[in-house]
Chain A
């Protein structure tokens, strides 16, 4: 019961931050919408709707590192400033979406072309769309049915999905990725919480490096390599810093406290 006196104010503070940022409480995204990002650097200028990128479609096939390191995509929406011409040259989306690459027996559709027919426009609107697509939603629910459940986010436990071999994310693309040696993983460590009663965080490098490598987080997101170098608060995390760069946006939400605060406390 005493724990509640500490946990409740934290949750209230988090809600307060969310309120202050948006002026009103943000609508909780549907499981199929969680991790969707709208990219609108140049689309409108080109007379196209913005690109709606669904992380769930891609993360079942590829690691985070592959796209955010090897393909050069930034970690914040719109920071990469991808142009159609970049895709046409075979970079960014065009690395795979070139009409030639085959994945799981399926040819991956070509991303951008200089000119297109009315029929080809149907291909453009696979990405350049703002309207909710019932087909896409159905695809998501069909896919998620086969995956281990999770309470929040996409409603999918991606980590268990990989452990069970239900997904096998690719981490290397010939001609794109640099050949790497086997990653030596640093052991898990505990991060002490400031709030009494809240279990400490057990941070697993293994869980994070398997999809991210080292360079995705250090030093851009976490300036500290050694434990304790970076000091952060839940307020900053809910503002989208540190863990909040991925968690809440694509990885499971930070409101799922017990996913991170796992260290057993002595009663």
Chain B
């Protein structure tokens, strides 16, 4: 391989590693952003409507898959945090649905 070819290969390898690094970094940030978006509103759970609560529960389920792919300690911490806020949404949802049922 000549010098030009080596240079091309070097640039290509550099670009590839940069892409992988950025993707990993973005990926890490993405699940955390999704987690915050889903769980930051748990204290307002009672104020949400049934469709809003269902949407939040779906958000929690989506982020759960991403957390499960993380390393051991992150999984332990964030699955518990996620479970707490998801359980709260589910409970408020069930309560609101129960209230809506004709008596």
Interface residues of A (CB under 8 A from B): 69-72, 74, 81, 85-86, 89, 91-92, 178-181, 183-184, 186, 209, 213-216, 218-220, 223, 225-226, 229
Using CB atoms, name the residue of chain B closest to A72.
B77
Pairs of residues from A and B, 3 with the lowest C-beta to C-beta distance, nearest first: A178-B40, A72-B77, A219-B91
Most buried by B among A71, A209, A225: A225
C-alpha gap A214/B42 in the complex (Å): 7
**List of B residues within 8 angstroms of A186 by Cβ:** 46
A246 CB to closest chain B CB (Å) equals 16
Asked if B73 and A85 sit within 8 Å, CB to CB, the answer is: yes
C-alpha gap A191/B84 in the complex (Å): 26
**List of A residues within 8 angstroms of B80 by Cβ:** 72, 74
Chain B interface size range: 20 to 34
Q: B45 on the interface (CB 8 Å rule)?
A: yes
Asked if B84 and A183 sit within 8 Å, CB to CB, the answer is: no
22 contacts between A and B (CB under 8 A): A69-B84, A72-B80, A74-B80, A81-B76, A86-B73, A86-B76, A91-B77, A178-B36, A178-B40, A179-B40, A180-B41, A181-B40, A181-B41, A183-B44, A209-B43, A213-B43, A214-B45, A214-B46, A214-B88, A215-B87, A215-B88, A218-B88
A66 CB to closest chain B CB (Å) equals 12
Interface residues of B in 29-83 (CB under 8 A from A): 35-36, 39-47, 73-74, 76-78, 80-81
Asked if A226 and B84 sit within 8 Å, CB to CB, the answer is: no
